[in-house]
Chain A
Amino acid sequence: GQQVQQSPASLVLQEGENAELQCNFSSTATRLQWFYQRPGGSLVSLLSNPSGTKHTGRLTSTTVTKERRGSLHISSSQITDSGTYLCAMEYNAGAKLTFGGGTRLTVRP
């Protein structure tokens, strides 16, 4: 079946450092999406990126569909960036998203 693998599983940074989160997927997808899950549990959509590079604020998403991988770069990390970042794949323009296990980011002062 379709699988999404994220790495690293956890990441600890000092405030101001950059973060690079990886996502690999098992088959060609129509769209890669990144979500942020707050420590309390709720999820927020960050970026949707079918291919290429997309920026929003301090976030940069890069998707290389042919190589079945994507990444999320967080520049100048802040303490409030702490939480879990989830990569999700949409296949065949359907409504179902397949999620990875997440990268738990901790940003320390």
Chain B
Amino acid sequence: DPKIIQKPKYLVAVTGSEKILICEQYLGHNAMYWYRQSAKKPLEFMFSYSYQKLMDNQTASSRFQPQSSKKNHLDLQITALKPDDSATYFCASSQGLGTSQNTLYFGAGTRLSVL
């Protein structure tokens, strides 16, 4: 059974719309992350959270807003969608923040296509 659940698996949106990507982890982890993988770029870090607090934000655009309603949830709201936002968005988690002492676990991803 997958321990990190991402919903939906596939998402098609029109330019200018807003979508929320859902992520829940059932590993009891305290740190959660979002990464993005597009056809043209390697997997890239977006955000890290620890105990529901934002620890690092490497996303230049404020159109991307993570939301953590519970310790095991980290959703990603994307507003004013653009075709360049098309990518697979991966949620990940680890026991503690950082991977020096912790293994990073990934969800299966949400593939977003913006038309």
A residues within 8 Å of B by Cβ?
4, 30-31, 33, 35, 40-45, 48, 86, 88, 90, 93-102
Contact = CB atoms under 8 A, between A and B. Distances in A.
Contacts of B98: 90, 93-95
Secondary structure of the B side of the interface?
strand
Nearest to A96: B45
19 contacts: A31-B99, A33-B99, A41-B88, A42-B106, A42-B109, A44-B106, A45-B104, A88-B43, A90-B98, A93-B98, A93-B100, A94-B56, A95-B31, A95-B33, A95-B94, A96-B48, A96-B56, A99-B42, A101-B42
Given A96-B45, A100-B42, A48 B106 contact: no
A90 B48 CA distance: 14
Nearest to B96: A95
Contacts, number: 61
Interface residues of B, number: 27
Contacts of B45: 96-98
A6 B104 CA distance: 20
A90 to B, nearest CB: 5
A44 B104 CA distance: 8
A42 B108 contact: yes
B108 A45 contact: no
